[in-house]
Amino acid sequence: MKYARLTKEQLEELHKEFINFLATQSITADEWTKIKTEKPDVAEEELDVFSDLVWEGVLNQAQYLEQISPQHIHMFCLSDTNMHLIALKLKSEVADLTTKEGYQWLRDNLLSDEVEVLQAHKNYSEDKNQDKFALIQQGAYITKGDLYNYFNKLVNDN
């Protein structure tokens, strides 16, 4: 398995897609029920393959990732060849950026000495989707890029 198995909730949401996946392998509903009871290891493998296919599709489409912690905000733009990071770092524990109040503090004090803005580019390894997935495993989540684009314009369009 290349990524991670989808959760039970995710699999339930993708029920129709999973049925289509089984159908592409000529597995009927009755056969799937039989496989689950008589060959649970084969059923597990099918779930793993399906999960990897879903992750591959999601990661191919992902353009932005964000990770917010009490003292940092990491915003990634995922291009074809590399990822661009804009990071905001609080120099002290003046606010908790995971709260509404902390985010408002950041907006009000963005230009203060308490906020450090960093940027970096990183080329992907041979498997860019694995690089993206590693960030998700570390707590990043896929976004539409509104926050990244706001800060990118603020920081780079002087």
Dihedral sign computed on CA atoms, order 43, 48, 51, 56: negative
What pTM does this model have?
Answer: 0.85
Hey, is 47 helix, strand or coil?
A: helix
pLDDT of res. 54: 95
What pLDDT is recorded for position 44? Answer: 92
Digitized pLDDT (tens) for each residue of the chain, 158 residues in all: 999 999 999 999 999 999 999 999 899 889 999 999 999 999 999 999 999 999 999 999 999 999 999 999 999 999 999 999 999 999 888 889 999 999 899 989 888 889 999 999 999 999 999 999 999 999 999 999 999 999 999 888 75
Rg of the chain over Cα atoms, rounded to whole angstroms, equals 21
Residue 158 pLDDT: 56
Q: Which two tokens stand for residue 26?
A: 């000529």
If one counts every other C-beta atom within 10 angstroms of the C-beta of residue 88, the result is 20
Q: Are 29 and 157 in contact (CB under 8 A)?
A: no
First to last CA, the chain: 45
Domain assignments of the chain as residue spans, ordered by start: 8-61, 64-156
What per-residue confidence (pLDDT) applies to 107? 87
